[in-house]
Amino acid sequence: MTDDRHAQLRALAARQWRIALTLTGAMIAVYFGFILLIAYAKPLMGRLIVPGLSVGILLGAGVIVASWLLTLGYVWWANTRYDDELARLRE
């Protein structure tokens, strides 16, 4: 492997780590934001939107959906950018 390809591979790996850490940080912020609301905004979280559905339940479902969307975003990036770039470097 040439030095140029090796440098490109290192740059690709660094990009992957940057994206993974950014998405991990986003998920941590969403999750701990939810936990902090549970701890410090109980009246808000207990407020009913409709009978049987509170703000807390809705935000809890939002945390789950956010994790799916962040995962989907990473998979999309990996399939459209990372895998193509890695295949090009292997040639």
pLDDT tens digits, 39-54: 999 999 999 999 999 9
Residue 7 in any domain: the answer is yes
Residue 53 in any domain: the answer is yes
Amino acid at 60: G
Number of domains observed in the structure of the chain = 1
Residue 84 in any domain: the answer is yes
For the chain, the residue count is 91
Residue 54 in any domain: the answer is yes
Residue 39 in any domain: the answer is no
Residue 36 in any domain: the answer is no
pTM for the model stands at 0.85
pLDDT tens digits, 59-75: 999 999 999 999 999 99
Structural domain boundaries enclosing 75: 3-27+47-90
Residue 34 in any domain: the answer is no
Find the helix packing angle between 83-90 and 3-40, rounded to 10°. Answer: 160
User: ∠44-46-49 over CA atoms, to 5°?
Assistant: 90
pLDDT bucket at 1, cuts 50 / 70 / 90: low
